[in-house]
Amino acid sequence: MSEEANKKAKTALPQAPDEEWPEAWMMCDDDKIEDQKKENRQDPNAKITAADMRKLGISFWKMDADTFTYPVKAVPWDPKDAVDPRLSQLRDDRGYSYADIITIHPDHLPGFDAKIKAFFEEHIHDAEEIRYILDGSGYFDVRDPNDKWVRVHIKKGDLMTLPEGIYHRFTCDETDYIKAMRLFKGQPVWTPFNRPQEEHPSRKAYVTEFMEEKKTDE
């Protein structure tokens, strides 16, 4: 292989080892949630592993969010300007061509309470959801194959992707602060399609790939 071809054939940026994946757990039932920003664990705690999350179609990388710094808000932020070589590689590996930065905090996001409420409506997208957490922390909730909520606690340095068609929702945790880079392939479309979406092609594709015959006895 020529040196040039060799460079092009370099392997994709490896995902994080299991022990670096975020903490995740089964949530208590929705009717028991008094405050969406609390942990809302089951009692006793039911841990969800990295392998469990991978089965749902989630991918996860650990990034260096200390060495490389980003603006509070940049819309759009051009991924060509990436200063982190690992972020550049991930962008090239996966074809991400757009990025912006959102800071979710009462002082930075107009209509904070209404937006937090909207993010917490169960929905799907017709594309992958890619979030690189630059600072702060928060919760992504995703449905497991038994239609139960799994809560994933993401924090600074975490880069997580949710597959197209997975039912999910987001909330700040009790810190009320998260700063995230949102990446996208092509022109960004953030439209949420609220549940139910059983006939949506993205939902059907998700069910076929990740859910059929994955249910377990309860």
Map the footprint of ligand KMT across residues 16-55, applying CB under 6 A: none
23-31, 59-67, 92-100, 178-186 -> range binding ligand KMT (CB under 6 A):
178-186
| Closer by beta carbon to ligand KMT, 138 or else 163 | 138
Residues 6+ apart with CB under 8 A from 132: 63, 65, 87, 158, 159, 180, 181, 183
* Residue 170 near residue 139 (C-beta atoms within 8 A): yes
**52/45 Cα distance (integer angstroms):** 15
Interaction of residue 180 with ligand KMT, rule CB under 6 A: yes
Q: Does 58 engage in binding with ligand KMT (CB under 6 A)? A: no
Q: Which residue is nearest to Ni ion (CB)?
A: 129
Is 123 part of any known ligand binding site? Answer: yes
Alpha helices in the chain (DSSP H): 3-8, 50-55, 85-94, 112-119, 201-206
Asked whether position 119 contacts ligand KMT by CB under 6 A, the answer is yes
Residue 26 partner contact from ligand KMT, Ni ion, none using kind-dependent CB cut-offs of 5 to 8 Å: none
Strand runs labelled E in the chain: 23-26, 47-48, 59-62, 74-77, 98-104, 123-124, 129-143, 149-155, 158-162, 168-172, 178-184, 193-194
Range 79-118, binding ligand KMT (CB under 6 A): 102, 104
Is residue 131 near ligand KMT by the rule CB under 6 A? Answer: yes
Closer Cβ to ligand KMT, 24 or 178, answer by number: 178
DSSP 174: T
Could you list the residues known to form a binding site for Fe(2+), using ranges: 123, 125, 129, 168
Name the site residues for ligand KMT (rule: CB under 6 A).
102, 104, 119, 129, 131, 138, 170, 178, 180, 182
